[in-house]
Structures are given as structure tokens and as C-alpha cells.
Amino acid sequence: MAEGGKHGYGGSMEAMKIVCGIDLGTQSCKTVLYDYGAKKIIASSQAAIEMIAENDGTREQKAEWYRGALKKCFASLPGDLRAAILALGVSGQQHGFVPLDEKGQALYHVKLWCDTSTAAECRELTAAAGGEERIIAAAGLPMRPGYTAPKVLWLKKHKPEAFKRLAHILLPHDYVNFLLTGEYTAEYGDASGTALFDVRKRIWSEQICTLIDPAVLNCLPGLIEPSAPAGTVSAAAAAEFSIPQGVPVAAGGGDNMMGAVGTGTVKDGVLTLSLGTSGTLYGYSNSPVIDQTGDLAAFCSSTGGWLPLLCTMNCTVASEEFRALFDLDVRAFDAEAAKAPVGAQGIVVLPFFNGERTPNLPNGRASVNGISAANFTRENIARGALESAIFGMRIGMEGFHKLGFKAREIRLTGGGAKSPLWQSISANVLRLPVRAPSGTEAAAMGGAIQALWCLASLPAAQDPDLSGLSIEELADQHVALEGVLVEPEEKTARAYDEVYEVYSRYLRALSPLYK
């Protein structure tokens, strides 16, 4: 059985209205079955996924691991509920490069969003375009190691035989859609994170593709509208995964795009803060938001608009590493951190265990700064690790302010969202009230809601109660929010302003070492 399988449904089988949300993350694949009539997740499952990590910044997985994890997840769901699925929606970790041959077989490992081994390719593409300003003019994004484009050039340079046979360039969520439907498709949201895409026009960028190789454009999948189906479950997928043949598979999207849907960030004024392996801060916009500094990625949403986003590659990583060092579980680690005051008595952690994307430090290294004989305690280091994740997010908040984005509140999601201390730190560092969905699997839930939108948009909607509903209406109906968890407290917020300035000084001083 897959990890975390559970089934808590006591409703009548005849009354079930089930959609399935799938979230292919970095560490695991998760599924939820959502009864949209009862507005309740009725079953869920999870299967772990390994990672290949090397000292040069390589972070890779194998496409076959995704297939295996998906199979485990479906196998652990109750068969009667699985057979009642009406539609599926897929969320996937962004930016990963899944290189396939003409038969749909993987040619090499999947290079991930957190792979920083392509820094040289980023420099090469930026120079070929005539500088960063021209790259941003063409695609809306600077060339960063996390994005897909430099990974494609890396394959051409380092695996030339595989590149010669390259027929399809897919992202992880596109690949899961392919496994389910046999179709090669992409949608605007996830595609906008490839740096192969013109985010203003919402088309593939022939200019950027040609910088890599003229053949690249022909390897990219066709683009579909976010409300459209990527296809229907094929006979082969129905047999392999024991799910109903012929049901629609929604367009899906990147995990941040689906997290936005799952937290209700589908209209102006709301920001989502995701505290996972990576940290992301993003908000919906009706028009493109292009940040010339490159700190905020000018992504498209998977609901028809845009999703300006900050991503840090090291969010929960620092706390996980220090927890392992101190041999503490999550609750005990938080309890230690709570003993320390705001600012951890001068202990400042730079959490760059995986290099870093924002700020752009692909060769970054983690460090503990400000140590003295008086403050070198476990509780101060624990607090410094937690605070560092949110200081990284403040870079994005300042970017949103500069670009005129006015936020009313933050929707908190991801594993770190469960921590009361992190909730408090987030509210006070970012100076906004923090709310949270009642569930923790925002990306998988976003996939389920997008599957509902797909059903509602079909010409002959099976359920008249869904027909014609917008994604905003569906999010309002199906994203369950708790009350305000934490309001910022002025005294604490002012104290964090001072601590953040100390953090920024260390960052400015050490950054030249990691360029």
C-alpha cells in the first residue's frame, strides 16, 4: 500500500460525485478523491519518490518513478470510490524537464526545479540573447537554473545522442497527463515556467527556442486552454491504474498554479504562501506582471490570468537539516524554537543548502551567522532556521509592493503551514493576516477543483449544477477557509523589520562568494 492511504467516507454510493486531484511533488505523489456534492475529501493516498543528488548541484529523478508512484497511489484508494471518478486534474512540480523519444519513452533522467547544475547554460543563453534585459523582453523571465530552457541546452551539450532522438519536451504534470491520456499537451501556467514561453502573448517563444536549437520548437506540446481537457483516460491507463476509461483529464498545471486554485487565489488581492521544500509567494493578476529584477517570476496562472511568483529553493530545508542534526521531530523542534526570542538573539541562518534561485545564487551554501558564546544555543539555531525561510519570502513581498500589487491577506499552505510558530513569524515578517484552507493538500485539491471546472466547461455537462460555473465560483464554493490564524502584532512586526535588515546585511556580504 502507498504511504498515507486513507478512506473516511460514509456516504451513499449513489450520491457520490467524485473528482480526483493528483499532485506530483518533489518528494512524493499524492492523490485525493473529492466528493463535490458533500464538499469533502473522502479518500487520499501518498507514495514516496526518490531523488538523485550530486555535489555539482544535480537534482534528478527518473520518469519511471512517477509512473510507479502514481500506480501505488491509485492502488491504495478504495476500489469502489476509484471506479466512481468523474474527472481528474493533475498538479506537478514546476520546471522539470522530461525528455521523451517519438514513442514516449524517457531518453534521460528528469532534471528538476532544484537542479542548479545548469548555471553555465543560463549564462550561455543570456549572452546569446544579448543580455538579461533582452531575455526578459522576449520571455518575461530571466534565464535561471531552475527553469526548463537551460536544462534542454544541458541535454544537447552533455547527452548529444539523447538530444538527437528528442521528440517531446514535457513538464512533470504534462507527463502524468500523457500517462493518463496518451496525449501530448501543455497549458499556459506550467508552460510559463519553462523560459521557453512568451508570458505576455501566451505562446511558445520561437526566439528562445532557436537559441538552444531550431528543432526545440517542434518538440514542444500543443497549448490548450486551462478549462479544456488534456484528453480522456485511455484504455491502457484504465487497465494500468484501475480507473474509469473515457473520463476527462483536465489541463492541470504546475504545483504553484494548482496551489493557487486550492487556496482560492484566483482573483486580485490574495497571496498564497507555500511552505514546502521550496518556498513560494504568489498572487493572481488580471494582467502580466513583469519584474525587471527577475525576483518575481512573471508566470501565467492556470485559470486564465497571470500569477507573479517568488520562489526560494530552501524553505523547510534548513529546519529539516537542523532537526536531523539535533535528532528532534517537528513538534519538538518547534518547541525549542519557541523558547528563543524574535531574532534568535542575533543568530541568522542563510539556508542555501541547495544553492538558491531567489536571490540568484546557484552556488550558494548554508551558513549560521552571528554566533557568540552567549547565543550559541539549540533554541536560537532552531528559531533562526524557521525565521530564515520567511525572510526569503519578504524579498518577494517587497517586490509585490514595488509593482503596485495590493494584498489583503495571505493564504498559507504546505507542510510548514501546520506550525503555529511559522504562522506567527509569517504574519509578522510579512505584515499581513494569515489564513489557511482547512486541508493541507492545496495543490491536489486545486487539481480536483480544476477537474470540476473542466466538467463544468464541457459542452454537455453531466451535472447541471456545474454547468457554466466559473473557476472563481467553484473556488468560492469548494475552498474551505478557517478564520484568521494570526494577525500581525505591531511591536513584533517592528522587531522583525530590524532583524530582517541584519539578515539582509549578511546576505549582501556573503552573496559575492556564491555567484
Nearest by Cα to 359 from 398, 392, 389: 392
- d(CA 87, CA 466) in angstroms, rounded, equals 13
Q: pLDDT tens across 56-84, in order?
A: 999 999 999 999 999 999 999 999 999 99
Whose cell is 517537528? That residue is: 330
Between CA 165 and CA 174 the distance in angstroms is 19
Between β-strands 98-100 and 185-187, what pairing exists: parallel, antiparallel or unpaired? unpaired
Tell me the pLDDT tens digit for each residue of 265-299.
998 888 999 998 889 999 998 888 888 777 888 89
Mean pLDDT of 316-330: 96
The answer to whether the CB of 93 falls within 8 A of the CB of 26 is: yes
Task: Give the list of residues 6+ apart from residue 340 with CB closer than 8 angstroms, or none.
Answer: 377, 379, 380, 382, 383, 384
Residue 7 has pLDDT above 80, yes or no: no
pLDDT at res. 158? 98
Instruction: Catalytic residue, from 174, 255, 295, 334: name it.
Output: 255
pTM (two decimals)? 0.87
- For the chain, the residue count is 515
255 is catalytic: yes
Closest C-alpha among 469, 448, 496 to residue 34? 448
Contacts of 459 (CB under 8 A, 6+ apart): none
Residue 438 clears pLDDT 80, i.e. is over it: no
Q: Which domains are delineated in the chain?
A: 6-257+441-478 (3.30.420.40), 317-392+494-514 (3.30.420.40)
Residue range 441-453: mean pLDDT, rounded: 94
